[in-house]
Amino acid sequence: MTPSPHVTVTIDLARVRAAAERAKREAGVDVYAVVKADAYGCGAAKVADAVAGAVDGFYLFTLAEARAAGVRWFGKPVIALLDESEDAAVYREAGVKPVVWTVARARSLRGASAIVSVDTGQQRFACAAAEVEAIVKAGEINEAMTHASRLEQARAFDAITRPLGLGYRHAAGTALLGEPGARFDAVRPGLALYADAVRVTTKLVDARRTDGPAGYGGFRADRHGVILAGYANGLRPGPCLVNGELRRVVEVGMQSAFVELDDRDKAGDEVVLLGDAITSHLVSTTWETSQQEVLVRMTALGQRRWT
């Protein structure tokens, strides 16, 4: 996928910051800003800079991502789920806490402030309940996490880890931010930081009356327009706004797409693909995918700018 030169992706860093502050206020525990995958396409370094004063740490997928962002993470703790290195010094030097789910890796990363990852249903990047204690001992571990999306999973995590008397535990991403029973010592929101902060727009390059079946698939409309973004840029059919009214991207081609229009819509008018009434939730139901995927695709659709 390549970004369309005709689409503008605007990331409102003040809104990301406000969402981080809201998470902190409402959860009342530490907040780790999840900035993996270049902060869901919002720009990890820029997001880190914007939220640093509001959060207690950062979470990424790999140590390589943490390094690539090119920021020192403001002296806050950083968690990286995956990395090949078995050398505790590598993590200490990078200021990154590794995540472990085997006795062997816990042992070799002793002294690197490793976190044990406990399986509560995802069945990946985590150990079974019966293994947690041995891993904690082998790695002299004081911190546990799980990747929970349902309250029962957070409860299972609590039952497994509470008897071990660990100093620091966390389970919740965006799905469980509102659940006091899933908060423990920290929360790890990703989506909640970015969902209201991204605006994706383009312009109609054509607007006309539709004469019989149009496009590849023979769609019918009273009027239609064309935008210069297509599936080569990651676009899919779905809702949009033209002149503040709900319209539809009816058919997507390689590098252009058809939009259903009203009488007053004309060439040059702005088309909002994400933002205002076009929420990531609305798009995700149309695209039949997660809001996280919508954000990653939408931020990759065009030229990013930050406000």
Phi, psi of 161 (to 5 degrees): -95, -25
Chain residue whose CB lies nearest ligand PLP: 190
Q: Write each residue from 158 to 177 as x if it is in contact with ligand PLP (CB under 6 A), else as -, in one continuous string.
A: ---------------xxx--
Closest CB to ligand PLP among residues 34, 298: 34
- Binding of residue 88 to ligand PLP (CB under 6 A): no
- With a CB cutoff of 8 Å and minimum separation 6, the contacts of 130 are none
- Binding of residue 97 to ligand PLP (CB under 6 A): no
The footprint of ligand PLP on residues 125-154 (CB under 6 A) is 147
**Site for ligand PLP (CB under 6 A): which residue of 191, 241, 252, 274?**
191
CB 121, min distance to ligand PLP, A? 13
- Establish how many alpha carbons lie within 13 A of residue 144's alpha carbon, considering only the half-sphere containing its beta carbon: 29
**Site for ligand PLP (CB under 6 A): which residue of 41, 77, 190, 238?**
190
Phi, psi of 261 (to 5 degrees): -130, 170
Hey, CA dihedral for 204, 209, 215, 219, is it positive or negative? positive
- Binding of residue 230 to ligand PLP (CB under 6 A): no
Cβ-contact 176, 151 below 8 angstroms: yes
Q: What is the distance of C-alpha 199 from the center of its chain?
A: 15
Closest CB to ligand PLP among residues 4, 146: 146
Angle, CA 117 vertex, CA 115 and CA 123 arms, to 5°: 165
What are the residues binding ligand PLP (CB under 6 A)? 34, 36, 147, 173-175, 188-192, 292
